Amino acid sequence: MAFGPDGDRLASAGGAGTVRLWDGTTGAPIGEPMTSGPEMLTSVAFGPDGASLAVAGEDHLVHRWDTATQQPLGEPMAGHTATVRALAFLPDGRLVSGADDMSIRIWNPRATSPIIRAEVPLTALAISPDGEQLVTGAGDGIVARWDAEGNRVGPALTGHTKEVGELSFSPDGHRIAAAGFDGSFRIWDAADGAVQTLPPRPGKPLWAAVFSPGGDLIAAAGAAGFIEIWDVRDAPKRLHAFPAHPSTVTALAFSPDGGLLASTGFDGSERLWDAETAEPVGEPLVGPFTQENSLAVGFSPDGRTVVGAGMNGMVQTWDVDSAEPGPVFGRTGLIWSVAFSPDGELLASGGADGTVRVWDVSTATALMDPLVGHRGRVTTVAFTPNGGALLSASDDGTVRSWPMTAAPRALCDKLTINMSREQWDEWVSPDIGYLPGCPGLPIG
């Protein structure tokens, strides 16, 4: 049971997955029972303002209800693998849960509802430079356009007959490039959907297609192990086609100044190329955790760092100038996508386990608990241009938006110590295991 913040209501939860509200003074029931499912509920908590209620139990999920309408709020929050035993809201509205799987999770309830829900697995996502338009690619080859609120814009962009490998907006937002597993490569006009189709490669899936920062070039690559660089200022003209990796090239990224092109692939190496001459720059990048099946590559916004990730679950960094390996961002299981925030302070990854993880680049530590909500692999992560949100696309057919804020980092920058365990028990809950709020700081 739990009292509301002003003591005027009492919530009870128990058998048959039901939760009820009661008048705190008279004991009279308020409304009808709210049912989250057939499993036993073991914990209930009011939100800080009393407008929402969280319940959890044997189904391993955290459910939320609107206490005024007594209707569910968003989808159940999935992530625990055993009975959830304890719930507590933090003053800022985040929710802490503890379960028999020996894990503590911190949830941002505002981020649990998908902004896009498709009927097919989503394999690619791109955000326009102004943040006003999204495009998604699907397992059936369809490319769809959406506004920032998740409403469909215009007809679908068709032509691909298999999975869309990657999508990329031109820097001016006027064009959309797509690489397909059917071996075709297309450029669409973002406004009217007019399409240019480049020569197909039968039987050779294309995994990657990216615009250069200047918008005059597109690099594409895939199962053939070759990289092609095209001049797309007018009618597309192929400038280079060269063997880059001994097997499939899975990802490409231009440096912010457009001078370098990074590639990675099933051979596990990250390689740098001169974007103008297509000549290799230095030797393949290697690190202590490099192995086969690298799936993601990217540059930091300042162009000084390149990252790679994939099957081994590590995000490995290298200094671009020296080619020396840098910090490694923790083991998380197979990683499909990585992205830096626009200011370069955060690094995000999307994994095969359905989680999104965010790290503080300066300390190479997790900024928060894994962001949980997807029920399939996370195929793409991308920050909005202003850095205010992180979007993720998944095989479960959804795109989710996770609010990002500098407030926790700004606060941790001013602190020299974490709260003590005694303070945690007093200010958060003695029933929830201790969790330091600022990674890297000592415990009081």
Please tell me the distance from the alpha carbon of residue 317 to that of residue 335, in angstroms, as a whole number: 14
Say whether pLDDT at 111 is over 80: no
CATH number of 2-111: 2.130.10.10
Q: Name residue 365's amino acid.
A: T
Residue 318 has pLDDT above 90, yes or no: yes
The average confidence (pLDDT) of the chain is 86
* pLDDT, greater one: 102 or 261: 261
**Which comes out higher in pLDDT, residue 278 or 438?**
278
**Percent residues over pLDDT 70 in the chain:** 89
Q: Which of 176, 169, 220 is nearest to 195 (CA)?
A: 176
Which has the higher per-residue pLDDT, 15 or 398? 398
> The dihedral of CA 416, 421, 427, 428: what is its sign?
positive
Give the DSSP letter of residue 433.
-
DSSP per position, 373-406: --SS-EEEEEE-TTSSEEEEEETTSEEEEEE--S
Q: What is the pLDDT of residues 118-165, one digit of tens each?
A: 889 999 999 999 999 999 999 999 999 999 888 999 999 999 999 999
How high is the pLDDT of residue 95?
85
Domain ranges of the chain: 2-111, 116-408
Stretch 242-265: mean pLDDT: 96
Does pLDDT of 432 surpass 80? no
Most confident by average pLDDT, 322-331, 355-364, 382-391, 396-405: 382-391
User: When comparing pLDDT for 74 and 312, which is higher?
Assistant: 312
> Residue 265: pLDDT band by 50, 70, 90 thresholds?
very high
Report whether pLDDT(410) > 60. no
Does 407 score more than 50 pLDDT? no
pLDDT tens digits for 293-303? Answer: 889 999 999 99
Q: Which tens digit of pLDDT belongs to each residue from 325-373?
A: 999 887 668 999 999 999 999 999 999 988 899 998 988 888 777 887 7
Q: Which amino acid is at 295?
A: L
Q: What is the pTM of this model?
A: 0.73
- Distance between CA atoms of 401 and 405, rounded to whole angstroms? 13
Residues in contact with 280: Cβ distance below 8 Å, sequence separation at least 6, in sequence order: 271, 272, 273, 274
- Summarize pLDDT for 3-55 with one digit per residue, the tens: 777 777 888 887 777 888 888 788 888 888 888 776 788 888 888 888 888 89
Statement: residue 114 has pLDDT above 80: no
The CATH fold assigned to 116-408 is: Methylamine Dehydrogenase; Chain H (2.130.10)
Q: What is the pLDDT of residues 204-238, one digit of tens each?
A: 899 999 999 999 999 999 998 999 999 999 888 99
